[in-house]
Amino acid sequence: MIKRFLQKPVVYALIFWVVFGFLGFIAVDKILMPIIAGHLKTTVVIPDLVGKTGPEAELALDNVDLLYKWDTVGRYSTEIDAGSVLIQLPEAGRTVKKGRTIHLIVSKGLREVEIPELRGRSQRQAEISLNRLGLVQGQIVPGAHASIPRGVVIRTEPAAGSVVRVGQEVDIVISSGMTAGKIQLPNMQGLSLEKAKEQLSSLGFKLGNIMRKSSEAELPNTILTQHPRYGEYLERATAIDFVVAE
């Protein structure tokens, strides 16, 4: 009896429609409804765009149906590369309606400045002038000059008028005054005491006081510091003091 019932066409049709209906329900619930809900959704979360390049930022906004407007003037930055997004308004993470315009400010990278003319100024005045421009005073290099008094700036390295990035070091060449008949003291730091003695003798200087100091970085009898400072112009027979590693 049951076998005959199952062989009837109406039963096959009923089973087909039950299975078809079940599969259809699954498809609508799991596939179609999320798609419809996504299209009907009117709000989106603003993505984080800071640090992204222009094309990357624009694509990210296109993907969530947001518009964009660039501030072409831009601003300088020490952290974000030139051409990338520096600021976005509104900020990332906010929920807004689709079609909202996001304002983007582009980074101009590090600011560049022109090294000023410092010739004739004191070392302190030169340092202040560099700091005001965002530049850093580098090494102080002694230099001989017949007319510029001792302690006054002769030139800078890089030279005045050079365009450099903010934060760059600028070395200052300071006059040692008249140097006729004087000898420039070389840098002996890192030399052995014996080598330093040989150089002093060849230049006409005398060995002064020797102070010993413990050092984990240098071998024994290595010159740690010297006085007077290297680069100065000195009379012959001037005594040179050393601090030497024990």
- CATH number for the domain spanning 228: value is 3.30.10.20
Domain stop point among 149, 175, 201: 175
Domain stop point among 175, 204, 226: 175
Q: Identify whether residues 116 and 102 lie together within a single domain.
A: no
Work out the percent of the chain whose per-residue pLDDT is above 90. 54
Domain stop point among 175, 197, 224: 175
Q: Could you identify the residue written with the tokens 């199952």?
A: 6
**Domain presence at residue 134:** yes
* Residue 5: per-residue pLDDT: 46
- Owning domain of residue 72: 43-107
* Residue 180: per-residue pLDDT: 66
State the amino acid at position 10 in one-letter form. V
Half-sphere CA count of 87, side-chain side, radius 13 A: 11
Q: Average pLDDT for residues 44-51, to the nearest whole number? A: 94
Q: Given pLDDT bands bounded at 50, 70 and 90, which one contains residue 148?
A: confident
Q: Identify whether residues 160 and 189 lie together within a single domain.
A: no
**Domain presence at residue 35:** no
**Domain presence at residue 16:** no
Write the CA distances from 163 to 116, 127, 139, 158, integer angstroms.
10, 17, 19, 9
Nearest to 246 by CA among 227, 225, 218, 226: 218
How many structural domains compose the chain?
Answer: 3
The dihedral formed by the CA atoms of 138, 144, 147 and 150, expressed in degrees to the nearest 10: 60
CB 137 within 8 A of CB 105: no
Q: Identify whether residues 99 and 130 lie together within a single domain.
A: no
Cα 23 to the center of its chain, rounded Å: 59
Per-residue model confidence as pLDDT tens digits over 204-241: 999 999 999 999 889 999 999 999 888 777 888 999 99
Report the DSSP pairing between strands 67-75 and 101-107: parallel
Q: Identify whether residues 47 and 103 lie together within a single domain.
A: yes
Report the DSSP pairing between strands 101-107 and 85-89: antiparallel
Q: Is the pTM of this model over 0.85?
A: no
* Residue 201: per-residue pLDDT: 92
Average pLDDT, the chain: 85
**Domain presence at residue 90:** yes
Q: Given pLDDT bands bounded at 50, 70 and 90, which one contains residue 145?
A: confident
Residues with Cβ within 8 Å of residue 104, at least 6 apart in sequence: 49, 57, 68, 69, 70, 71, 85, 87, 88
pLDDT greater than 90 at residue 28: no
What's the burial of 180, exposed, middle or buried (CB within 10 Å: 0-12/13-18/19+)? exposed
Per-residue model confidence as pLDDT tens digits over 65-122: 999 999 878 888 888 988 899 999 999 999 999 999 999 999 988 888 999 999 999 9
